[in-house]
A and B are shown apart, each in its own frame.
Chain A
């Protein structure tokens, strides 16, 4: 069975500080990987997706970056947080071939103060 693990569960960070969120998928080779963001009370928005190691496509510009250093790992980061980065971050995966059935991690709640 496939499992998806996100870390950390929650973060409280200062404006201007760096951020790194992570996601690991086990039990599935070559998954498509996604980062989603949801502002409090807002709509879920896709930030990035990756279909293979080292290849990441940006969907929404939020002064964030993403990387896929390994087949099973997806990292979301920034060097300088903004207040507007607060919200809920979700990592997801889908099978690499056909269909967009998405499976989500438990999410990371980020508060930028």
Chain B
């Protein structure tokens, strides 16, 4: 079954609103990573976050390994934040060479 569950699948915001994206994992994990996928398809790494909270500008990622979940908070959204956000996990029982991705959360920010 799907190891990584992302929610919501899509989200529409007005510029300035905040967004909260969630990832839940069905198995124990070593670490997880958040990516932004541009409309053209290329991926940008946002956070490598094995545990705890990390912040970069308007983005905050919080991972709770014991509860097998991670969140990505976007504050004061901008139209340029539009795109798909993916989370990926490195499973604990894995060899450390494979990431399992979620299906993504499509964010649309309107002006």
Q: Which of B41-88 contact A (CB under 8 A)?
A: 41-45, 48, 86, 88
State whether A99 touches B42 (Cβ < 8 A): no
The residues in A between 20 and 65 inclusive whose CB is less than 8 angstroms from any CB of B are 32, 38, 42-46, 49, 51, 57, 59
Number of interface residues of A (CB under 8 A): 24
Chain B: which residue is nearest A49 at the CB level? B97
Q: List A contacts of B48 (CB < 8 A).
A: 99-101
Which residues of the other chain, B, contact A49 by a CB distance below 8 angstroms? 97-98
Q: Which segment, of B10-18, B19-27, B99-107, faces chain A?
A: B99-107
Contact at B41–A100, with CB atoms within 8 Å?
no
The docked-state distance in angstroms from the alpha carbon of A88 to that of B48 is 23
Those of A54-113 within 8 Å (CB) of chain B: 57, 59, 88, 90, 92, 99-107, 109
Listed by A's residue number, 29 A-B pairs whose Cβ atoms lie within 8 Å are: A32-B97, A42-B103, A43-B101, A43-B103, A43-B104, A44-B86, A44-B88, A44-B101, A45-B101, A46-B98, A49-B97, A57-B97, A88-B41, A90-B41, A90-B43, A92-B43, A100-B31, A100-B33, A100-B96, A100-B99, A101-B45, A101-B48, A102-B33, A102-B99, A104-B42, A106-B40, A107-B40, A107-B41, A109-B41
Q: Which residues of B contact A (CB under 8 A)?
A: 30-31, 33, 35, 40-45, 48, 86, 88, 90, 96-99, 101-104
A contact set with B: CB distance below 8 Å: 32, 38, 42-46, 49, 51, 57, 59, 88, 90, 92, 99-107, 109
